[in-house]
Amino acid sequence: MTPLPPAFSDWFAARGWQVHPHQQEMLDRAGEPALMLIAPTGGGKTLAGFLPTLAELATEPREGLHTLYISPLKALASDIRRNLLVPISEMNLPIRVEDRTGDTSATRKKRQRVDPPHILLTTPESLALLTSYEDAPRMFAGLSRVIIDEIHALAESKRGDQLMLALSRLEAVAPGLRRVGLSATVEDPPALAALMARGGAPCPVLQADPGPDPDIAMLRTEAPPPWSGGGGRYAIGEIFDEVKRHRTTLIFHNTRAQAEIFFHHLWLANTDDLPIGIHHGSLSREQRDAVEKAMTEGQLRAVVCTGSLDLGIDWGDVDLVIQVGAPKNVKRLIQRIGRANHRYNAPSKALLVPANRFEVVECVAALEAAKAHDLDGDPRGPGPLDVLCQHILIRACAGPFDERELFHEVRSVGAYAGLSRAAFDDCLDFCATGGYALKAYDRWQRLIKRPDGLWQLRDPRAAQRIRMNIGTIQDTDTLKVRLRGAGKPLGEVEESFAATLSAGDTFLIGGQIVRYEGLKEMTVEVSRSAAKKPRVAVFQGTKFSTSTQLSSRILEMLLQKTWPALPDHTAAWLALQRELSHLPSHDRVLVESFPHDGLAHTCFYGFAGRNAQQTLGLLLTRRMETAGLNPLGFVATDYATLIWGLDEVADPAPLLQDKGLREGLDEWLKSNAVMKRTFRGAATIAGLIERNLPQARKSGRQATFSSDILYDTLRKYDPEHLLMRITEAEAMRGLVDFGRIEEFLARTEGRVDHVRLERVSPLAAPMLLEVGKVPIVGEGRERLVAQEAAALMAEAGLDGL
Amino acid sequence: MTAHAFTLYDTPLRALPSGALHIPGEAALCVSDLHLGKSDRIARRGGGLLPPYEARETLARLEADIFATNARQVICLGDSFDDLAAQDSLGEAERLWLARLQAGRRWIWIEGNHDPGPVELGGSHLAEMRLGALVYRHIAQKGAEGEVSGHYHPKHRVSGAGPARAAFIYDQRRLILPAYGTYTGGLSTTDPAISALFKRPAIAVLTGSRAIPTPL
């Protein structure tokens, strides 16, 4: 056992603390080249990660960067800095800690490169940027440890891939670097560890005592939840009572829009004037900072929030977590619940508030899964090539490089271990010449090969543009929202939403209703409004889909004859569905048709998972287009696909015929909005599209054009281009689950129950609120535009034209 | 091809779904803001290497419109090239293609803010021109009457019917053409830079698979 330095044991003793077994074990095994700790929130995970660093620097003081700490959130980095400063100053340790994020001032950043602190706290994007500087080798030369916090969250996205590629650079500069990963509970710890380890080396996993099982229940309410609807407004009274009964409550929502509406109503119900706040990713940094600060100081009784508060920031005394809306994913539920009761060995307390009756079923299934410790997760694919392209450009910014060395470095990253030389060469060629069949950029290559065989930027000024576009986070184009006259930004809305606003429209942002006044230099100007009912800001937000495990639990539950585990209102609702229509079953397809909002709606229940249901949506709309039914769009969930269009589906059986289903699918898929969306992401990450330009964004927006144009051009003239291959591979992973469609068609064998209804069925109602709608561009849409335009012309008395 | 027919200063005009303007009485076709060579300009300045196919795509559409309308004269209403150096970036194939289109036709390059100097390719180069009752120039002038221009890349959205599309805008006095080039974006007609130029009633004609008129 490695003893704690005396100063440390004294400090622990003075606080009446004991070193947790997993903290001791981290200290004992500090020499491991790679190590991963899995501990629940509040288990002293971060201290466990830093303890070896503090001990090493206390016993052997030295100059230069010793430990790099990487977290997914800027806020987390500054929070950790505050927490670290306490033991450091109280023990009087010779250790300097600084953070470095997008918010750090330019002078400070510059100084950090010249004279780095002992411990630097940063994010994957800021690290990638650091590695792009020519002086990176000097800055990182003495680096000894890297701590990756909340690695489970990073590993779910391309940010994790970018981080691991950056680590391969650091490894080259500081060989023998030790890696430590800190993770919340995950379903497959060895898989996560393998991602983090260097070049296939082992990475042992330490499991901290998970603590007592959380205390989770569904909130009992006087009023039953509505049939459909997403806000959980019916439960405001009971939720408010819970807030009053607890010190601090976090109220999680699945989308930003829902959080906004809920906060608005909670505020109206707040007759006691309790201090409550709202926190989500579209609010301005000032606003989020203010809430975070009030939170840490224990001044707030409740915070309405979204995933932006998901990660392990120490928010002080949260003693209750409320999840409004079905958690959609058991792992996320468990991680969120970990936010409550930050004292080790006290059970976390959480309440689920289903927003509608269908979510009651989902919540009950999630509770059962959580009790059974049945976590869910999707397996990861190989390292994405768009991230590799960006890595190559970043490498070029740091100075001339040898392609073979870089290839070997990249292959040492877990996710890229299987990368072929040909695939690497394609990425390098893309970065250098664009990689087009038509060789057009002889004069203007981005990278050139020097006579000595090394690659470098043709124009060194390109480095600035590349650095400005580092990162893999894909956000939609947003506009800042400001109060007219006052300079303070309130937050951001999506450009597409702003485009639908006309003067006088009202919407919610940051819990207040504002009136749209106009657009000024890419900023939405608003004024305060006394309106009671706003038009609601729609955020793309994150689309959560229910995990496969959960959706099969739910189908099982629907198949029961009676539902003793469900509240009466929900059991009655399912019984009503059975009476008015059918309940879906394993060996038949349920199809419901009903009019809604002036359009014909048809819902296909396949329970095949969201990917397969999405693909089914594409297949069915293609057949509907051919049949002249003018589909306009669809939305898919894990259970069903809902399609709307101008004409009614009289007989769905031919649409579901197995024969010829694949024919023509390819073309239809490739012209679809899902592919274009995927392309946009890949093209931005790979450096084809620059989101940020050196000069401020021009006010005349005729200068920028849609990435869809690039996609269509490539599809026509260069369909085999690297970016098209990346797009296809990625979209297919998220889209086509053809096996499950065929399995679904085989098990139902054309046994279709088509139910025609006057209005939306109980089971289909929640589908109307799903986000992630996919538009279909076909004859129907053309007709719709023409109709709308003609109506407007008639209204304006111009129909003679 | 469903065009939208209208008149401006008694001149019959047809807004084609492609974004080109057909002037039947003059056997003329007018297109604006081709922005040829845009990908080359971005690459030259150290930006991303965009797919280098936009010139052939733009020329292919232009060729189709010229043949469909049997145009004897072609007016390119400025910003035909993304900058003056972009002319050099046209490949041999594109140069020959352009020469073929110009053969036997009157071809006018109106100068734009992106391409203010003379063009080295065939055709005449003018600051602006008058044809019948109408004047053709790149940027609309305050108080002008009977004017056809480009520059603003207008796009218009019919609410409840999908995203904005490139659009012609006209009122009693003037017409603004959408950008014809493949790599061009648009400026919303709600932007004061555009809307201030028109007096109601004004019409926006959406481009796409057919030309759709709607009130501005």
Taking only the tens place, the pLDDT of each residue in A312-353 is 555 567 888 898 887 766 777 777 776 565 555 566 788 889
Domain termination site, one of A493, A510, A528: A528
Nearest chain B Cα distance for residue A718, angstroms: 8
Handedness of CA B112, B115, B117, B122 (dihedral sign): negative
Domain boundaries, chain B: 4-215
Chosen for mutation from B13, B34, B50, B182 (greatest number of chain A CBs closer than 10 Å) is: B50
Please tell me which residue of chain B has the smallest CA distance to A784: B161
User: What are φ and ψ of residue B167, in 5° steps?
Assistant: -145, 150
pLDDT of residue A698: 43
Examine the domain organization and report whether A688 and A590 are in the same domain.
yes
Look at A801 and B6 and tell me if their CB atoms are within 8 Å.
yes
pLDDT of residue A540: 38
Nearest chain B Cα distance for residue A389, angstroms: 12
Q: Report yes or no on A131 lying in a domain.
A: yes
Whether the CB-CB separation of A427 and A387 falls below 8 Å is answered with: no
Residue tagged 């296939």 (tokens) = A200
Helix B92-102 and helix B54-69, axial crossing angle in degrees, nearest 10? 10
Residues within 8 A of B (CB atoms), A 381-440 only: 433-434, 436, 438, 440
Please tell me which residue of chain A has the smallest CA distance to B154: A702
pLDDT of residue A534: 64
Q: In whole angstroms, give the CA distance from residue A385 to residue A423.
A: 8
Q: In whole angstroms, give the CA distance from residue B190 to residue A133.
A: 43
Please tell me which residue of chain A has the smallest CA distance to B92: A440
Whether the CB-CB separation of B118 and B97 falls below 8 Å is answered with: no
Assigned token pair, A432: 């250098």
* A540-A542-A543-A549 Cα dihedral, nearest 10 degrees: 180
pLDDT of residue A539: 44
pLDDT digits (tens, 9 = 90+) for B55-84: 999 999 999 999 999 999 999 999 999 888
Q: In whole angstroms, give the CA distance from residue A603 to residue A760.
A: 10
Please tell me which residue of chain A has the smallest CA distance to B88: A443
Radius of gyration of chain B (CA): 16
Q: Report yes or no on A81 lying in a domain.
A: yes
Q: Report yes or no on A473 lying in a domain.
A: no
Chain A to chain B, count of Cβ pairs less than 8 Å apart?
Answer: 137
DSSP string, A315-348: -S---EEEEES--S-HHHHHHHHTTS--STTS--
Sequence-distant (6+) residues with CB within 8 A of A62 are A118, A142
Assigned token pair, A514: 């504002």
Chosen for mutation from A702, A707, A708, A787 (greatest number of chain B CBs closer than 10 Å) is: A702
CATH of the domain at A53: 3.40.50.300
Q: In whole angstroms, give the CA distance from residue A434 to residue A277.
A: 48
Q: In whole angstroms, give the CA distance from residue A39 to residue A679.
A: 37
Examine the domain organization and report whether A12 and A33 are in the same domain.
yes
Contacts of B158 in chain A (CB under 8 A): 785, 788-789, 792
Examine the domain organization and report whether A177 and A244 are in the same domain.
no
Q: In whole angstroms, give the CA distance from residue A478 to residue A463.
A: 26
**SS3 per residue for A363-415:** HHHHHHHHHCCCCCCCCCCCCCHHHHHHHHHHHHHCCCECHHHHHHHHHCEHH
Whether the CB-CB separation of A275 and A301 falls below 8 Å is answered with: yes
Q: In whole angstroms, give the CA distance from residue A72 to residue A68.
A: 13
Cα atoms in the Cβ-side hemisphere of radius 13 Å centred on A141: 10
Look at A702 and B152 and tell me if their CB atoms are within 8 Å.
yes
DSSP string, A243-257: HHHSS-EEEE-SSHH
Look at B47 and A690 and tell me if their CB atoms are within 8 Å.
yes
Q: Around Cβ A458, how many Cβ atoms within 10 Å?
A: 17
Helix A421-433 and helix A403-411, axial crossing angle in degrees, nearest 10? 130
pLDDT of residue A212: 75
Q: What Å distances lie between residue B49 and A419, A436, A726, B41, B68, CA to CA?
A: 24, 9, 17, 10, 34
Residues within 8 A of A (CB atoms), B 8-37 only: 33
Nearest chain B Cα distance for residue A164, angstroms: 25
Whether the CB-CB separation of A253 and A304 falls below 8 Å is answered with: yes
Contacts of B188 in chain A (CB under 8 A): 499, 701
Q: In whole angstroms, give the CA distance from residue A49 to residue A36.
A: 9
ipTM of this complex prediction, to 2 decimal places: 0.91
Could you tell me where the DSSP H helices lie in A568-687? 568-580, 610-626, 665-670, 673-685
Look up the domain containing A738 and give its range.
581-784
Pairing of strands A599-605, B134-136: unpaired
Q: In whole angstroms, give the CA distance from residue B124 to residue B119.
A: 8
Handedness of CA A355, A313, A145, A467 (dihedral sign): positive
- Is B139 near chain A, with CB under 8 Å? no
SS3 A361: helix
Q: Around Cβ A238, how many Cβ atoms within 10 Å?
A: 17
Among residues A519, A523, A531, the alpha carbon closest in space to that of A488 is found at A523
Instruction: Say how many domains are in chain A.
Output: 5
Cα atoms in the Cβ-side hemisphere of radius 13 Å centred on B102: 15
Q: Report yes or no on A421 lying in a domain.
A: yes
Sequence-distant (6+) residues with CB within 8 A of A680 are A474, A689, A707, A708, A711
Q: Report yes or no on A600 lying in a domain.
A: yes
What DSSP designation does B146 have?
A: S
Examine the domain organization and report whether A365 and A411 are in the same domain.
no
Parts of chain A with a pLDDT under 50: 537-544, 696-702
Examine the domain organization and report whether A117 and A227 are in the same domain.
no
pLDDT of residue A227: 75
Examine the domain organization and report whether A662 and A732 are in the same domain.
yes
CATH class (in words) of the domain with range B4-215: alpha beta
Contacts of A445 in chain B (CB under 8 A): 49
Examine the domain organization and report whether A247 and A185 are in the same domain.
no
Residue B169 reports pLDDT greater than 80: yes
* Residues in a beta bridge with A323: A252, A352
Residue A106 buriedness (CB in 10 A; 0-12 / 13-18 / 19+): exposed
Q: Report yes or no on A796 lying in a domain.
A: no
User: What are φ and ψ of residue A449, in 5° steps?
Assistant: -95, 125
Among residues A479, A682, A670, A423, the alpha carbon closest in space to that of B48 is found at A682
Q: In whole angstroms, give the CA distance from residue B110 to residue B73.
A: 13
- Is B92 near chain A, with CB under 8 Å? no
Examine the domain organization and report whether A406 and A426 are in the same domain.
yes
Assigned token pair, B136: 């053709």
- Is A718 near chain B, with CB under 8 Å? yes
Look at B48 and A801 and tell me if their CB atoms are within 8 Å.
no
Whether the CB-CB separation of A282 and A491 falls below 8 Å is answered with: yes
pLDDT of residue A700: 42
Q: In whole angstroms, give the CA distance from residue A161 to residue A413.
A: 9
The amino acid occupying position A478 is T
Examine the domain organization and report whether A244 and A285 are in the same domain.
yes
Whether the CB-CB separation of A341 and A207 falls below 8 Å is answered with: no
Examine the domain organization and report whether A637 and A718 are in the same domain.
yes
Q: Report yes or no on A245 lying in a domain.
A: yes
Residues within 8 A of A (CB atoms), B 169-198 only: 179, 182-188, 190-191, 193
Chosen for mutation from B49, B77, B155, B210 (greatest number of chain A CBs closer than 10 Å) is: B49
Assigned token pair, B156: 């218009």
Whether the CB-CB separation of A609 and A574 falls below 8 Å is answered with: no
Q: In whole angstroms, give the CA distance from residue B183 to residue B188.
A: 17
SS3 B55: helix
pLDDT of residue A610: 72
* B106-B186-B112-B97 Cα dihedral, nearest 10 degrees: -40
SS3 A514: strand
Q: In whole angstroms, give the CA distance from residue A565 to residue A360.
A: 10
Q: In whole angstroms, give the CA distance from residue B53 to residue B38.
A: 10
Examine the domain organization and report whether A446 and A487 are in the same domain.
no
Examine the domain organization and report whether A298 and A355 are in the same domain.
yes
Q: In whole angstroms, give the CA distance from residue A433 to residue B39.
A: 13
Q: Report yes or no on A620 lying in a domain.
A: yes
